[in-house]
Chains A and B, each alone.
Chain A
Amino acid sequence: MSEPAVHLLGIRHHGPGSARAVARALEQVRPDIVLIEGPPEADPLVAWALDDGLRPPVALLAYPSSGDAAAKASFWPFGEFSPEWQAIRWAVTHEVPVRFIDLPAAIRFAAGSDPADESTVDSVRQDPIGELASAAGYDDPERWWEDVVEHQTSTVDGDALAPFEAIAAAMGAVRQGTSGDDERREAYMRQQIRAARKAFATVVVVCGAWHVPALTDPLPPAAHDTRTLKGLARTKVNLTWVPWTHGRLASWRGYGAGVTSPGWYHHLFTAPDRVIERWLVAVAAVLRAEGLPVSSAHVIEAVRLAQALATLRGRPLAGLAEVTDATRAVLCDGDELRVELVNRRLVIGERLGEIPADTPGVPLARDLAATQKRLRFPPSAGTEEKRLDLRREIDADRSRLLHRLRLLDVPWGKPVEDRGGRGTFWEAWRLEWQPEFAVDVIAASAYGATVPAAATTRAVELAGAANTLGEVSRLVQRCLLADLPGAFGRVLRALSDRMALDTDVAHLMDALPELARTLRYGDVRGTDVASLRVVTATMLTRIRVGFAAAVTGLDEDAARAMKERVDAVHSAVPLLSEEALGEWLDAVAKVADRADLPGLLGGRFARLLHDAGRLDRDTVGRRLGAVLTVGVPPAHGAAWIEGFVAGGGLVLLHDEPLLRLVDSWLQGIPAGNFDEVLPLLRRTFGAFPAPHRRAIGERVRRWDSADAAPAEPAGPHERGDLVLPTVELLLGVGRG
């Protein structure tokens, strides 16, 4: 056997060009072992790559076995176009062993650093090839790779290793003069390479281009590396596969960060030829699917423009920048919204990874099981109803767990109407654990390693995707119920944004009562709602500003709907603050006199102001009288009365002065008008329940018989006196 050969393939993380080159190099070299930069604890997981259920984008997830999994979990994501993934795939299909050779996650966790986080590292180290490309005037490193590395090396002599030799040489120059504080990682890698070359004849190492010079022969003496690695602490870690998405690949800060266009990379990797043409055809398809007219002629012109731009910018090949400019100018008519759409659908892409259902130990599932155990709350197959008393710590935790799982689309518990109905401390649930939930938990594991962490990520994502104010305000409530302080700020931010952009005051009025109640009862759960208070106050301000426009010029149906909203807001505002109530009544008072107010609302406002003591009885009486004057159409008058007395007959029954007001108004109607008004009155009073109508009638008749005696004087009452001592006893306020 000859001298063992080690081939170093320096790659760009997530670079499709590198991925293709790696695949070609592996075909040519046919090594006996493949070493890959990555956590060695993942070695046993490589076999899963053969499983058809494991489809990229996926990520390797490492998390400490004990302690806070959420705070420490680290991800190594791979797309179809990642060189590491291609190397893994090649190795498992050719039954060649794979080893990960980076510093173990166990050591890096123990050192307190996120093993996958390279975001603190300067950009040259993180993406040296990207930096080389931008130094050469390219803003798309992949086009640079294709143009410079591929076209000028491999095609010349057909040697698949040539690009990597070129890269190694370039990196040697780039790294000159920089001191590596990757010393430990590279020492570990060197040791693994030394170990591998003892056992195998041909070794291929796939690692970030940055590390190549440090791993090139001649390696420094092994003793030196041993010293570097001596005595490093370790913690216990677990690793597993989790599904990933292109969207998260784009926003990921960490290992392989800066992949802003995974969809484009996927295209570069998978398109067999005519990259630009195929891409623009796909763009056209996306736009057509949205009903936007895009013809083949458009695509032709876009391709021409992309090529002309590349020439103008002195680049041999059009890259993503050129293609996007051409898309904007030709296919999207300069409309940024459409460009955004293309960006979301294609450039980033909506590809979602999959992992087999039997993947071992998804941390979220473990966390869920541990939480269920801690709360003595095991899942059961049958349906079960459970009432939780939120004053008890354990029940409050259970409630949070159920709400969080609902956010993660694991509807283990469904809230049901509490038939007990004894205060806000009670919460009733129907529990039913279905086996499919296990799969849902795996799917949700991409959001985080623990239930609260995953629910937080999910809530933030939902807030970004929500379209209407209603959706966001419901989300605010769900966040509070699930107790997700991490997501709360972001969701409130989304709420405040939607609120500012919503031109319809009605939507704001729909959202306010719910939020006010949330504020009120948030205290029950001991959540911090100070910021929600601010947002709700702003919401009230916006309602007040737009109130006049919202309540005028409405037809009957709209006025009726608005009256419901006004009532809902009116009952919710006192929950906010004294000051808010005053401001709200000011706003109502400001519009109450307007002539273009629908009758229903006019009456309602007069009533609200009267009840709040803002209008004295005389004014109300005058307005009541004015409604039936000749200038007011009868329908308007009827609606006014309806709005005024709405709320059922009981109010009239108990508020005697009010009843007298209505009564004297009725008596004041001229005989000639009475026939006209009668049907309208019947419509209003006919809506009251029969017992109320009867009681009102009796009350009025009594006044008549007593010849309009003054209202029952408030004072001692014989039978009342009998009860008073007991009441005093109950209240503990002895009469001295």
Chain B
Amino acid sequence: MTDVVRRHAEAEYATELALLAAGDDRPKPPGWKLSPQAVVTYLLGDGDVITPKYIGPRRLMEVAVATLATDRALLLLGVPGTAKTWVSEHLAAAISGDSTLMVQGTAGTPEEAIRYGWNYARLLAEGPTRAALVDSPVMKAMAGGGIARVEELTRIPSDVQDSLITVLSEKVLPIPELGQEVAARKGFNVIATANDRDRGVNELSSALRRRFNTVVLPVPADAEQEIDIVSRRVADLGRALELPDLPPAYEEIRRVVTVFRELRAGVTEDGRTRLKSPSGTMSTAEAISVLVNGVVLATHFGDGVLRAGDVAAGIVGAVVKDPVSDAVVWQEYLETVVRERDGWRDFYRAARSGE
């Protein structure tokens, strides 16, 4: 038993990985713990003992694994909440057995996080020596022939991003202070994730971009799948918040997911009416939070049943991020779609009453 909140993928799924490794007789790229086919199976599941880690198109996982097998760096793109980090962690765990070599990208990520830093006490005492060097996760991955993960690459300032170029093209990290270098061992690679919506914040330089193959992770393909994901998560979160069990509000969940899907896709589910999309991402994660919010409202301030009024306010908040343009989008949606829809009268009224 362990008391940590969350274990690393390679520890959580150690048995599955061991099982796959035992039955894996296909050729493995140098430095890989599993063959590419086995990695794909690990991610998508085999319908039996291997649980699916990613639910979505097989094609995408194949491209991701093939990219890493051709020794190219992999860039996972997608709107928030499309399992980018989750996929990158499991890829690293399956390929190199270690998903911990991770750089979290922020606006303040320094170059030391990608190259190396110094232990200043030692540096002053001994001068520049190898022992005074503090290895970055990327440097450790190079030396050990593992996978380094860079989260939210586009949040990192451009000059720091560019220190990855040498690493990716030369596969060598020079340490001029020591006159040495760290050469990457076979199996080294980089998986980066980036948010689609951050495009243009710290856009990758074309030199860096060229070193990555891009895989775009999509939002859930169909409504049923998304409703499934949302209702599971809402139930989970409800338990975590120790809310009393509400009667299942399948209709409200379906309604929220429908609104989110329609506005996100810019077209109604029946494909007959085109819509404008709001500036927010309308991700599955937001749909979940709208519903959890609605459940809390219904529990503490309502009659204990999730109703249209409990979710309407939350939806408006999720849609209208920009008070001018999004308000127009929402109004148009209400007037041209919601108003006409059978059985949505209560929702229409609830949404209008908030104005």
Contact = CB atoms under 8 A, between A and B. Distances in A.
B326 to A, nearest CB: 11
A330 interface: yes
A501 interface: yes
A308 B39 CA distance: 14
B69 A308 contact: yes
A271 interface: no
Contacts of B328: 545-546, 549
A125 to B, nearest CB: 29
17 contacts: A301-B70, A301-B72, A301-B213, A305-B213, A308-B70, A309-B62, A312-B36, A312-B66, A325-B63, A329-B213, A332-B214, A333-B209, A334-B214, A500-B273, A501-B274, A541-B335, A549-B324
The B interface, classified by DSSP as helix, strand, loop or mixed, is helix
A501 B59 CA distance: 31
Interface string A161-205: 000000000000000000000000000000000000000000000
Interface stretch (A129-137, A280-288, A291-299): A291-299
Interface in B181-222: 206, 209-210, 213-216
Given A330-B213, A545-B335, A304 B273 contact: no
Nearest to A502: B276
Interface string B273-299: 111100000000000000000000000
Contacts of A305: 63, 66-67, 70, 72, 213
Contacts of B275: 500
A629 interface: no
A538 B62 contact: no
A334 B216 contact: yes
A18 interface: no
B266 interface: yes
A545 B72 contact: no
B332 interface: yes
In the A-B complex, list the 9 residue pairs whose CB atoms are closest, starting with the nearest.
Answer: A334-B214, A500-B274, A334-B216, A308-B66, A329-B213, A497-B274, A309-B66, A545-B331, A308-B70
A334 B273 contact: no
A542 interface: yes
A270 interface: no
Contacts of A301: 70, 72, 213
Given A309-B62, A500-B266, A549-B325, 8 more contacts: A305-B66, A308-B66, A312-B69, A314-B37, A321-B59, A496-B273, A496-B274, A499-B274
A313 interface: yes
A305 B75 CA distance: 14
Given A308-B70, A542-B336, A545-B331, A329 B63 contact: yes
Contact of B77 (A293, A297, A334, A496): A334
Contacts of B70: 301, 304-305, 308
Contacts of A304: 70, 72
A333 B214 contact: yes
Interface residues of A, number: 36
A577 interface: no
Nearest to B268: A500
Interface in B37-79: 37, 40, 59, 62-63, 65-67, 69-70, 72, 75, 77
Nearest to B327: A549
Contacts of B273: 496, 500
Nearest to A550: B328
Given A308-B66, A549-B324, A295 B336 contact: no
A468 interface: no
B210 A503 contact: no
A295 B70 CA distance: 18
Given A329-B67, A545-B332, A503 B276 contact: yes
Contacts of A335: 216
Contacts of B213: 301, 305, 329-330
A336 interface: yes
A538 B69 contact: no
A375 to B, nearest CB: 38
Contacts of A546: 328, 332
Contact of B336 (A326, A334, A503, A541): A541
A295 B332 contact: no
Contact of A501 (B66, B67, B266): B266
A293 B209 CA distance: 11
A305 B324 CA distance: 45
Contacts of A329: 63, 67, 213-215
Nearest to B59: A325
B210 A297 contact: yes
B332 A542 contact: yes
Contacts of A297: 210
A314 B63 CA distance: 14
Contacts of B210: 295, 297-298
A299 to B, nearest CB: 12
Interface in B323-345: 324-325, 328, 331-332, 335-336
Nearest to A498: B274
Nearest to A314: B37
A295 B62 CA distance: 24
Contacts of B332: 500, 541-542, 545-546
Contacts of A311: 36, 66
A334 B82 CA distance: 15
A464 to B, nearest CB: 14
Contacts of B206: 293
Contacts of A541: 332, 335-336
Interface in A202-230: none
A312 B37 contact: yes
A324 to B, nearest CB: 9
A488 to B, nearest CB: 16
Interface string B85-120: 000000000000000000000000000000000000
